[in-house]
Chain A
Amino acid sequence: MTYAISRRLLVAAAAGSALALSFATAASAEVSLTFLVDNAPATVSASEALAAAFHAKNPDITIEVEARAAGGEGDNIVKTRLATGEMTDVFMYNAGSLFHALNPQQNMLDLTDEPYQSDIMDTFKSVVSENGKVYGAPFQTAMGGGVFYNKKIYAELGLEVPKTWAEFMKNNEAIKAKGGVTPVIQTFKDTWTSQLFMLGDFYNVLQAVPDFPEKYTANQIKYATTPAALRGFEHQEEVFKAGYLNEDFGSASYDDGLRMVSKGEGAHYPMLTFAIGNLFENYKDYINDVGFFALPGDDATNDGLTAWMANGIYGYAQTEHPAEVKKFIAFVASKDGCDTQTKAVGAIGPYMTKSCTLPADVAPAVKDLVAYFADGGRNAPALEFLSPVKGPALEQITVEIGSGIRSPLDGAKLYDDDVRKQALQLGLPGWE
């Protein structure tokens, strides 16, 4: 049996400061909305540009951008604020499995009947919907999980973009033989960066086992006992055992990784393409040396990209200004909104609004990424958009596998145990 906790009780307990604040805003004629975003520099710049552009068009509405931590800590902040009734009017958050964990039907404004929905790609709508209602609009761009590579090194050694894992390893061997350059960069100081080999391989898993997501959600298939799913873990061990990693892989940070691949200290860095935004911020002079390819599988004729959907922008159900909130969300999802973001942080991937376009002179890595979304390109959503089951300890497990502390099979078993907790917490059938 499940009990709902009285929102009113929590709000009442949550201290008078909130009350004082809301009185203050209600008194003024102009509306001020707060927009909660994660604190990645690219996100903050894009959000502030959107706020400014929107205010220029609607002088009576001011948007204040509030930054929060990203990752697991950010999840906690968002959940706590929703639970205590202190959420901001508008907020950005992931689509897919994390979105479902926020209890959208209780916490978010229903955006199903907004006029711009016809301009939004169906694939995106499907990952911000619950029980046939749409709760989010796209913010920022879609991403790919794959490998950034240094084009100068590839040109120097006459290498070609690999279509299979064997080719990838052959390239690594050639880079190692030449010396002076790290073949594969890993950055375990920021543990989340360790998950790419596993998460980015999902396109290949899906090709081998098309019904993996449904069975996985229903507790009928496991990573440890599905050879295709185990491959991602095994790849990670292979690059470690072959000695392809940078010496300080355990202490290097995400930013170190970007520096190494852009300046040519390393050849390959497995990463999500949102990093192009950070490359723009920190290593703009080297942006043309960085290319991108999907994590290769075993089949050269069917190589494709594991894609991450854009983030969502959501309205808080308890906001005092739902009309203004919807107006702002409509702006973010419009072509104007896309162009404002492109101007602020550069073009870093395909937008999920159909009428949005990218400028012609995008960075090479973006060109490589967009090709997977264009006609003739192949991509599939990452598992987190097809199944709500995602274990919280994956990044620790992949650090262990990538550091040679744990075997891939053992790690996969551990991960299978880990996801069980998430499934139980969500109350999914078949896991009790």
Chain B
Amino acid sequence: MTTHRKKGTRRGLAAAYPSWFYLPAAIIFGVLFLFPTFASLFFSLTRWTLFQYSFIGLDNFRQFFSEPFLVWGLVNTLIYAVVTSGSKVVLGMLLGILLTSNVMARGLLRAVAFFPVLVSTIGVGITFTMLMHPTNGLINDVIATFGLKGPAWLTDPRFALLSVAFVDVWKGVGLATVIYIAGIVSIPPEYYEAAKMDGANALQRFWNVTLPLARPATVTVIILSLIGGLRSFDLIWAMTKGGPGFTTDVVASVIYKQYQAGFYGLSTAGNVVLFVLVAAIVVPLSVMLNRKEVEA
């Protein structure tokens, strides 16, 4: 019954404007969004040199899925997305609690935690590439003062992906923290008072009050950072270019390399695959997380 009435109201609103009123937005939407989307669907079915194209059906998708590093890239993408997203949730939550407490110089600390978000990703990538240099980087110099030998962070295949993920977390955790701060501040203090009256200790208050009531913040952080992680490219490209060899390739860098090589049809097909992949992971997740929120 309610939904019916809602629909009715919307339709009523729609009639309030003459149709030409929608035209500018519709044109922009059509030219900048609809047309490219359908054009890319079309070109993903062609072998395309920019100068000419020939229709080859689903061959690009077949080729893309037999790309030797695509599977590896998919696995890396998932590892990267889960690791960065998970770390941002945990660290963002902890920092959020710290920065909503009565800590000294709270405003300054909040600004400091947010600062990395504002720095250019490429700049961060280049800086950390220098810090992580195996023989004259600052990180290994520090490790060396303890008499240990640090690994080749970005060029040892065992560490490279996680090293980049670490930098991603450092750069992105500020945003998660801000979302958590907003979420935690909006929890009414009465709940904490009630919990204290019931004799709950700090851990119990966190577990039973903060965590469930900050759920909308958690959902937002997970969704945002997971999408970011799945389509991450700039930081990885700035730091390792997918290397050494192919060991830190993610789906986006595999696609980019096909563009670079001039395989425009193939890389467009890759983008269609990436689009489907992100949608297939994020849409159900979002529905699931939001439904639980309503139930709670």
Contact = CB atoms under 8 A, between A and B. Distances in A.
Contacts of B261: 72, 392-393, 421-422
Contact of A79 (B53, B155, B262, B266): B262
Contact of A83 (B47, B50, B54, B258): B50
A175 interface: no
Interface in A386-432: 392-393, 396-397, 399-400, 403, 405-406, 414, 417, 421-422, 424-425, 427
A28 to B, nearest CB: 32
B71 to A, nearest CB: 14
A405 B245 contact: yes
Interface stretch (B109-117, B184-192, B236-244, B271-279): B236-244
A190 to B, nearest CB: 10
B257 A393 contact: yes
Contact of B51 (A5, A75, A250, A399): A5
Interface centre among A80, A248, A249 (most CB of B within 10 A): A248
Interface in A232-290: 247-251
B53 A403 contact: no
B28 to A, nearest CB: 15
A1 B55 contact: yes
A400 to B, nearest CB: 3
Given A75-B262, A83-B50, A399 B243 contact: yes
A3 interface: yes
Task: Classify chain B's interface size.
Answer: 35 or more
B134 interface: yes
B204 interface: no
Interface in A1-38: 1-5
A414 B68 CA distance: 8
Contacts of A427: 47, 54
B52 interface: yes
Interface in B40-99: 47, 49-55, 63, 68
Interface string B203-218: 0000000000000000
B19 interface: no
A67 B6 CA distance: 58
A427 B265 CA distance: 14
Contacts of A399: 243-245
Contacts of A5: 50-53
B47 A80 contact: no
A2 B53 contact: yes
Contacts of A72: 257, 260-261
B47 A406 contact: no
Contact of B157 (A248, A392, A405, A425): A405
B247 interface: yes
A82 interface: yes
A318 interface: no
B170 interface: no
A414 B72 CA distance: 14
Contact of B257 (A1, A2, A392, A424): A392
B63 A421 contact: yes
A106 interface: yes
Interface string B140-177: 00000000000010111100000000000000000000
B54 A250 contact: no
Contact of B152 (A107, A250, A393, A406): A250
Interface in B245-275: 245-247, 257-263, 266
B127 interface: no
Contact of B245 (A101, A400, A417): A400
B252 to A, nearest CB: 16
A107 B50 CA distance: 12
Contacts of B55: 1
B246 A250 contact: no
A361 interface: no
A425 B263 contact: yes
A414 B245 CA distance: 12
A76 interface: yes
Contact of A82 (B51, B129, B155, B242): B51
A80 B49 CA distance: 10
A251 B50 contact: no
Contact of A400 (B244, B259, B260): B244
A251 B155 contact: yes
A75 B263 CA distance: 12
B135 interface: yes
Closest 4 CB pairs of A and B: A250-B155, A400-B245, A392-B261, A83-B50
Given A72-B261, A400-B245, 11 more contacts: A3-B52, A5-B50, A5-B51, A72-B257, A72-B260, A75-B262, A76-B259, A103-B51, A250-B154, A250-B155, A392-B262
29 contacts: A1-B54, A2-B52, A2-B53, A3-B52, A5-B51, A5-B52, A76-B259, A80-B50, A82-B50, A83-B50, A101-B262, A188-B155, A188-B243, A191-B241, A191-B243, A250-B134, A250-B244, A392-B257, A392-B262, A393-B246, A393-B257, A396-B243, A403-B155, A403-B245, A406-B245, A414-B68, A425-B47, A425-B49, A425-B262
Interface of A: 1-5, 72-73, 75-76, 79-80, 82-83, 101, 103, 106-107, 188, 191, 247-251, 392-393, 396-397, 399-400, 403, 405-406, 414, 417, 421-422, 424-425, 427
